[in-house]
Structure formats: C-alpha cells, structure tokens
Chains A and B, each alone.
Chain A
Amino acid sequence: MESPQERRIGPAAGPLVRPYALTGGRTRPQGIRLDLVTVLIATGAVSDEQARMSRHQRRLLELCRTPHTLADLTAEMNLPLGVVQVLLADLHRQGLVEEHREAPLAARPDPLLLKRVLDDLRAL
C-alpha cells in the first residue's frame, strides 16, 4: 500500500491525513492485544513484507530496537493510540516485534512487585 501523501500547515497542526488512512482503514488491531504498558522489542527478524512497510511502521520498528511500551511509542509517534495499536499488531504478526514480559499478564501485579515499587517510591 502506498503511504498517503501528507501535507503540513505547521508543526503543531500535525499531518493533514485521516488517522485511519495510515492503517488502511482498519480500526482494530489483528491478533495481539496490547496494553498501554506492554513492553515491545524488535526481534531482529526479516520479513518478506518489510519492503512494503509504511514510513510509520519503519519508525516503530526502529524505536523498538530498545524496549518501549505502547504508551511511549504512541507519544513518540504522535499518532492516535488506536492507529499505533493496529500498526504494531501488523509488525507482531510478521514476527518483527515481540512482547517482553517477565510475568504472565494478570489483573493485578504480583505482591512482590508491589513491595519493590513501594521501596522504590520511598527512596525517590
């Protein structure tokens, strides 16, 4: 897919392109469900589809060379959260990024982790 032509009227205005034009009209990520604090990292793999990646996906992949959370990536890209989720899900499906997770996703963090955060906060 060709990336849509962007025009800017100023740095504050952002690109004059409908956000979901960047995702080929898709509004829901396919496959992976990403939380705001899911840590993502590039796998270093090469995909056949890499040549057809959009500028935004290339940038995301570049950022993921060091671990980044979805929240960080969204702020960095200055794109809506939903758009970044869709773009990242594509990269994940192609095996280009993976989740970096220490513990299984749970409704609440492990108490041992909470104790560490408490100590960390007190030491601030």
Chain B
Amino acid sequence: MTSAPSDPRLADSTMATQNGQEATVGEQSNAHIALKILIAGGFGVGKTTLVGAISEVRPLRTEEQLTDASTGIDDLSGIDRKSTTTVAMDFGRITFPDGITLYLFGTPGQERFWFMWRDMVYGAIGAVVLADTRRLADSFSAIDFFEHRNTPFIVAVNCFDGAKRHPVDKIRKALDLAPETPVVMCDVRQRDSVKNVLTTLVQHALNTDTR
C-alpha cells in the first residue's frame, strides 16, 4: 500500500478507542481508515445484539421510499401512496489503535431493502448473514444477494437459549451453501463469540481474494 503524506490537520486529532481511552493517531500516515462489514438477517434474529456485544451501537436514520411493491406487504391504508418512511438502522464502531475503524452495519433482511444494500455493499469487507435455525428461510434472500454479487460472506447461526441445535452439515444443506462458505455457530450476546464471527469473515474475505 502506498503511504500518503501525513496531514498536518490530523496531527492533533484524537479518536476514542473502544474502551474509551484516547489514542493519538496523527503520527500514522494511515490514520482514519474506515472499513465496513454488513450484518444481514431477518427481523429479530439478533443483529443489534451482535453489534452491541462488541461495540457501541448508534442509530442511523435512513429513509425508505415506499413503492407499490411494498404497499402490498405493509398495511398502509389511509397513507398517501407516494410517501417515505424512516428506517432505523444500527451501526457499531470498533476503533483499533493503528488508525483503522471498523464499522458494522445491521441491515434489514427483507428483499425490499435491497436498494439499500446495493450502495452499502460496495467497498465492504464482506457480510455476515445471521441465521436462526427456527426460521432458516429468512436468510435465503440475503444469501442470494451476496452470492450474486460475489461478496464474501459467512453464515453465523445464532444459538438461542432452548433452540434446538442442528449439525452444521444439515444447516449448510438446507441453505444450499457453496462448500467454501463458512458456517459458524455463535451466541450474539457473547463478545468472544462475535469476535470469532468477525475474524472468520475477514479471514474468508482474504482467502477469497488470494484464491
């Protein structure tokens, strides 16, 4: 990677690290590199919990243009046909001491949000498709989306309390995954488990690049 000339305006700037400490990053030529990972999955699968387990969660307001296609799904009777609605999206931020900040964006899983994903996926490290074994079908559209765009992705199966455990092979088959797509079991409430999910994705993205 080429090293950029150091920017004097950055010399005094500080960024809060994950545990709230202040770290001076101005000395490094590669300070302020922001990278992103998408966390996709159906409603209530634990996206926000996952992001919150490893970073501070902040809300992001977006606006969804309602089209005729979605008026059939939502009950919008009495509301003007051409209207916008705010979609609250979550994101988390992990600031590393070397000037890299990793952003985690939780994205709504339904197909009608694909217009948002298209912009978000560009430049991303990859995506985590968060799945729930009780509702595996909720993951299909996300998997389709990333497969078609050759975006590196992994499937993380959230093991809810009391949810029946399924062997990875069975899940892989049910989701019709390519053999190289990693599947990991996780507990989105546990920091180490989430760390494992993210590490698996980044490793997979690297493998995909060098293959």
Contact = CB atoms under 8 A, between A and B. Distances in A.
A105 B202 contact: no
B125 A109 contact: yes
A19 B63 contact: yes
A109 to B, nearest CB: 6
Contacts of A113: 1, 33, 35, 100
Interface string B85-104: 01000010110111011110
B65 to A, nearest CB: 9
Contact of B36 (A37, A102, A124): A37
Interface in B123-181: 123-125, 152
Contacts of B125: 108-109, 114, 117
B206 A82 contact: no
Contact of B60 (A44, A81, A110): A81
B206 A102 contact: no
B82 interface: no
A108 B122 CA distance: 7
Interface stretch (A5-13, A47-55, A68-76, A87-95): A68-76
Contacts, number: 123
Interface string B1-15: 110100101100100
Given A75-B91, A106-B123, A36 B105 contact: yes
| Chain B at the A interface: SS class | mixed
A120 B55 CA distance: 14
A82 B62 CA distance: 7
B153 to A, nearest CB: 12
Given A67-B32, A108-B205, A122 B103 contact: no
A36 B61 contact: no
B195 A121 contact: yes
B21 interface: no
B202 A75 contact: no
Nearest to B152: A108
Interface string A55-70: 0000000000011010
Interface string A18-45: 0100000000000000011111010010
B206 A111 contact: yes
Nearest to B61: A80
Contact of B123 (A41, A67, A108): A108
7 contacts: A36-B36, A36-B105, A39-B32, A80-B61, A102-B30, A112-B1, A121-B199
Interface of B: 1-2, 4, 7, 9-10, 13, 18, 29-30, 32-36, 54, 58-63, 86, 91, 93-94, 96-98, 100-103, 105, 119-120, 122-125, 152, 195, 198-199, 202-203, 205-206, 209-210
Given A117-B96, A118-B202, 6 more contacts: A75-B91, A82-B63, A114-B202, A114-B209, A120-B100, A121-B198
Interface of A: 19, 35-39, 41, 44, 66-67, 69, 71-72, 74-75, 78-82, 100, 102-103, 105-118, 120-124
